[in-house]
Amino acid sequence: MSVRNIVLIGLFTGFSIAVFFAADLEYLGKLSLVIFVLSLGMFIFSSIPAGLIAWLCLSAGVLLGLPQDILFTSFNQHVVWLMIGAFIIASVLERSGLLERLIKWVERNCYTRGRVTLFTFILVQMLSVVIPSTSGRASALLPVYRAFGRQFAGNRKFFGLAIPILILMAANLTLIGAGSHIIGIGILETQTDRTISYMSFLIYGMPFGLLIGGISLYLLSKWYLKDMEFPEIEPEDVDIEKKPFSNQEKKALWLISITLILWLTEALHGFDIAFVTMLMSMIMMLPQIGLIKWKEGLKSVSWSLIFFVAGATALGELLVTYKVTDFFQERFLSLFSALDVTNEFIMLTLIVLISVTSHLYITSHTTRAVVFIPVLLIFADMFSLNPVAVVFIALIGINYCVTLPVSSKALLIFYEEDGRPFETRDLVKVSMWLMPIYIVLMIITYYVFWQHVGLNLMG
């Protein structure tokens, strides 16, 4: 056993003893806190899959006295079923041929430097609306990177950096833009009975996401985009008739369009986005529709991520059920008694700095949401802040994870490509400029936009 592991085990043992002998909590509250901290430590320092960690910790809690129902009711959450349906719909997008058609259209039309960068930007934004998780979009856009890498060999570094970084910036646009959004909003629902709808998230996040994406693309173009040589377009290539949409593509396009409309009109029809997503994904798997088979749809789901979301949300809910959050609220209130809670700028800056820099000490995107959202909700309750505003701003901050390859799976997917398109020092260079811009832009966006559309911190 390494020295690091011995130290970590010693620290956890000391913490557990302190909790059980010193904390003013009921037994199940103390147990919930110890189990939660154990899971966080293993998320950060262990190589065991995150989903397995969450369920092992829950099982350990059951063996030590927690009710068995926590294992079975953890899947009784809207966010879990939303993700299952979204993965199936994303697979339909790929299998139907729509994604390949989109990629080929980009290749065919990128015959100037401006078009290359513009189409790359637009393509990433479009996929952020229909493909859940940053890693899912990174996998879908790998063929685009490879095509550009072949055609513009001297600019492989630009595309290797631009595509994953734009994916991360575009995560701010929608509710399904990152798994951390779904986890964070799930925790918000369980602790406050408040939520953020797909349409609301789109309204709140799109202006910031598009603006920071444009700024990122400008900086990367300035530093890494070199002159491009474009092959001459032959007259016969121009006259080639575009391949018509297949029946598969037409059906997928119609059903995905209907899904998007139902997501955006949730307030009108009253059906939850999770129900809509599952309903449409099941319709797409019907044999009569012929888009994707039942077994293929289930195989397309990232079950490891689903189990992690269910388990992690259940671990966070334990803290509320057994009054652990109330316990910390009382302690934090005295700790922060000197803080000027009437100064909105101080509160905003504190939330922004904590969330944006969190990727430097917790590498997993989803783990950052599990760790910080419950704490920030306690913080919001202590100082009578708007919990919806706190969670949304924190999720936008958590989305920043550009500094190191391990900070995001989207970066790792491109970093591990053959020939390694970029080095860690390239990311550090980008982050030295982009992180301060990201922080300042979040603060400006709050005062110019967010506080006027229902995200007032002091409201």
pLDDT at residue 388 above 90?
Answer: yes
Has residue 142 been placed in a domain? yes
pLDDT at residue 234 above 50?
Answer: no
| pLDDT band at residue 123 using 50, 70 and 90 as cut-offs | confident
Please tell me the total count of domains within the chain: 1
Domain span including residue 201:
78-303
Neighbours of 5 (CB within 10 A): 11
Has residue 271 been placed in a domain? yes
Please tell me the distance from the alpha carbon of residue 354 to that of residue 359, in angstroms, as a whole number. 10
Task: Give the highest mean pLDDT range of 230-234, 313-317, 395-399.
Answer: 395-399
Has residue 419 been placed in a domain? no
Task: Give the highest mean pLDDT range of 95-104, 168-177, 193-202, 431-440.
Answer: 431-440
Please report where in the chains the tokens 């920030």 appear, as a residue.
376
Has residue 383 been placed in a domain? no
Has residue 336 been placed in a domain? no
pTM of the model: 0.69
Has residue 360 been placed in a domain? no
Per residue in 269-294, pLDDT tens?
878 777 888 899 999 999 988 889 99
Q: Looking at residue 49, what is its pLDDT?
A: 78
Per residue in 151-187, pLDDT tens?
777 788 888 899 999 999 998 988 888 878 888 888 8
Has residue 182 been placed in a domain? yes
Please state the φ and ψ torsions of residue 399, each to the nearest 5 degrees. -65, -20
Name which of 209, 110, 102, 224 is nearest 166 in CA terms: 209
Has residue 27 been placed in a domain? no
Please tell me the distance from the alpha carbon of residue 149 to that of residue 145, in angstroms, as a whole number. 6
